[in-house]
Amino acid sequence: MLLKTEPSVTCLDLLSNGDFETVALWPWLTDGAAGLGPGRLTDHGGWLGGQNNSQSELFQTITIPAGSSSVIWGFWWKAEAASAQPDDVLLMRLEYSGNEPILKHLAATAPLNTWRYESVDLTPYSGHQVLIGFLATTDGSVPATFRVDDVTVRACGGHTQ
């Protein structure tokens, strides 16, 4: 009797320093008020915002292997504020070939000061070099600080280079 076995699927994390534990941001780049701060379960994570009427960004460029069967961008985040700030937002954004879609819009609303997990499917961008980033915008009210940690872009089943 022959047994059929499924071929093993190779998965890779395409990000570098997604846990921010190198005690440096590199290869993450920043624009505006962004940097290193306390992480989810460790001493280091990324932070953005924390000021009134500001925009700040934390981003990294990656190449998603062509033919990937599954590409998931996942991360933990929290919004720190004294009260709900629905106009303070953290955007998951992407840049590739002149396009800049916003993939997810996360507001500084309940539950505040609590780590939450989010993910988006990047499989449609297989074969592209993309910039993935977090963009925080705050209004003129009470500013929220956004924290991100344990960021991964897990690509499975693609052709590695």
* Residue 64, burial from CB neighbour count under 10 angstroms (0-12, 13-18, 19+): buried
In the structure encoding, which two tokens stand for residue 151, read together?
């960021």
- Nearest alpha carbon to residue 48 among 156, 152, 144: 144
**Residue 15's pLDDT band (cuts 50, 70, 90):** very high
**Whether pLDDT at 23 is above 90:** no
* Domains in the chain, CATH or no CATH each: 11-156 (2.60.120.260)
The pLDDT tens digits of the residues spanning 70-87 come to: 999 999 999 999 999 999
Strands in 29-31's sheet, in edge-to-edge order, are 29-31, 55-63, 129-137, 85-95, 102-108
**Residue 2's pLDDT band (cuts 50, 70, 90):** low
**Whether pLDDT at 67 is above 60:** yes
Helix (H, G, I), strand (E, B) or coil at 78: strand
Tell how strand 129-137 and strand 34-37 pair up.
unpaired
* 50-65: average pLDDT: 96
Q: Which residues contact 84 (CB under 8 A, 6 or more apart)?
A: 108, 109, 110, 112
The pLDDT tens digits of the residues spanning 104-155 come to: 999 999 999 999 999 999 999 999 999 999 999 999 999 999 999 999 999 9
